Structure 1
């Protein structure tokens, strides 16, 4: 998830961007447009993930906002203590007990480490997270952009060229491929990439 866009949503009517902001702001703008254009078709995206957000636009604006308040999606990643009941451990650290399956030699090595298996495993996980943080962020950004491109640009010319250039981190080729796309689509995708990783195109 792209933290800078955690509370940001964007609404599109076809290839036209109607609004970007909080889900409430986007819902208001979308409802206003729908009241003026009853046959319009809308897509609302969570900018941090590229996933579509479902907003029920039936009824009055007050009806829409009332439902939104009751059913608003949680835009934060689940905390460990919310994923499973706490088991034995140190509550202040939010330790959660889970089953881990390892080979005997691996258990033997873990148990020989200072602090025992649990401490050694936590250290190994933290080290791996630090080591792979940049790769993980890149993967999340690529998945987000991939989802947006598929829905907004899947029917546009040179869509596949743009996608290949994006994954190859070839900025010039990417910008050439999307040059004739609708401006709102180009600007939106560029904004997501910039927010996700300003240095994405740097090889």
Structure 2
């Protein structure tokens, strides 16, 4: 499952939506379109072929776990004392680990969220604005956290590029 994306052509935002929605909306006018995943700021490739042209694949064999819930089995190596403690927790080891990870993510968010926003913005910026004037200076200002300086340096850039860059930095993409 993929999240929302934003499409640009000639540095103008032309559409937003899921990959499927963008393919449906832009089919036939896909030349020169760059599509960015809002969650990462990275360029994504869309399959522009019509659904009828795509070969039907047989469903993959069923795996253990709860794939509809997004559960992916992995391995974790812990010492026996860790397993003993986890097994004593309500809900068992998996539930306890999920709770601990969620708590750590919440506690760590103020530190990691700004860096993630910078990485997201830089992915977009380098793909669409790599040859724009003052790109290198804008990159330095981005990672220095100087949003005012970044806004000044990118002022001559196309309005849609600046707006989406700001949205990626603030985390409120469409």
TM-score, normalized by length of structure 1?
Answer: 0.60
Spell out the pairing of 1:117-196 with structure 2 (5 A cutoff).
Answer: 122=97, 125-196=101-172
Q: Give structure 2 stretches of 5+ with no counterpart.
A: 58-66
- The number of aligned residues is 158
State the 4+ residue runs in structure 1 displaced beyond 6 angstroms.
Answer: 78-81, 107-113
Alpha-carbon shift at residue 178 of structure 1 (Å): 0.5
Alpha-carbon shift at residue 108 of structure 1 (Å): 6.2
Q: Give structure 1 stretches of 5+ with no counterpart.
A: 1-5, 35-39, 72-77, 85-96, 198-203
Distance (Å, rounded) in 2 between the aligned partners of 1:24 and 1:99: 36
TM-score, normalized by length of structure 2?
Answer: 0.69
Secondary structure in 2 aligned to 1:99? coil
Alpha-carbon shift at residue 149 of structure 1 (Å): 0.7
Q: Which structure has more RCO (C-alpha within 8 Å, separation ≥ 6)? A: 2
Match for residue 54 of structure 1 among 36, 39, 45: 45
Distance (Å, rounded) in 2 between the aligned partners of 1:21 and 1:126: 28
Match for residue 8 of structure 2 among 12, 15, 25: 12
Aligned CA-pair RMSD: 3.6
Secondary structure in 2 aligned to 1:33? coil
Q: In structure 2, do the counterparts of structure 1 residues 101 and 189 end up closer, same or farther at CA, with 3 Å as the change threshold?
A: same
